[in-house]
Amino acid sequence: MTVGPGWYMTLAAALFSIGAIGMLVRRNALVMFMCIELMLNAVNLTFVAAGRALGTLDGQVSVFFVLVVAAAEVVVGLAIIVAVFRARATASVDELSELKG
């Protein structure tokens, strides 16, 4: 049995689903953020696997762009989470309930 790109794309789909479900069920902002990172890495795996299967470099190159964007999101996201944590001493999104209606 050979492990072809299809296997990697299936694994990526599973990782993406785990990230999306974690995003929906977890309530700690840091863990939710980690779930987003998991989803982005699933995207990278899909790009690489598809690029390999199709014999084009576009997939591999796209990964760099996704990585850069993910890094930029980390910078802004962690700053926001730290600001929230400083004001409230909690990173649980359930405590963020001043805005509703």
Partner 1 sequence: MIFPEVSWAAIAPEIALVAGAVAILMVDVQWKPHTRVLGGIVALAVVSAAVLSVGQWLRLDTPGDITTPFGGMIAFDRISVLARFVLLAVAAMGVAGGWRLFERLGRRAAEALALVLLATVGFSFMASSIHLVMIFLGLEVGSISLYVLAGITRERTESDEAAMKYFLLGSFASAVFIYGVALTFAGTGRLALLGQRAFLDANILTRPAVLLIGLALVIVGLGFKVSAVPFHTWAPDVYQGAPAGVVGFMAAGAKIGGFAALTRILFTAFPSMTDEWSSVVAAIAAVSIAVGVVLALVQDDVRRMLAYSGVAHAGFILTGVVAGATATTGIWFYLAVYTVQLVAGFAIVAAVTGSAGSRSDLGAFAGLATRSPFLAGAFTVALLGMAGIPLTSGFVAKFGVFVSAWQAGFEWLVIVAVLASVIAFGVYLRVIVVMYMREPGDDAPAIPTVAARWMLVAATVVTILFGVLPQPLLDLARNAFSV
- Binding footprint of partner 1 on the chain (CB under 8 A): 9, 16, 19-20, 23, 29, 32-33, 36, 39-40, 42-43, 46-47, 49-51, 53-54, 56, 58-59, 62, 65-66, 69, 72-73, 76-77, 80-81, 83-84, 87-88, 93, 96, 98-101
d(CA 43, CA 34): 14
Q: Give whichever of 3 and 76 is closer to partner 1, judged by the CB atom.
A: 76
Q: Give whichever of 11 and 73 is closer to partner 1, judged by the CB atom.
A: 73
Report CA-CA distances (Å) from 75 to 6, 33, 63: 33, 12, 19
Torsion angles phi and psi, residue 28, rounded to 5: -90, 125
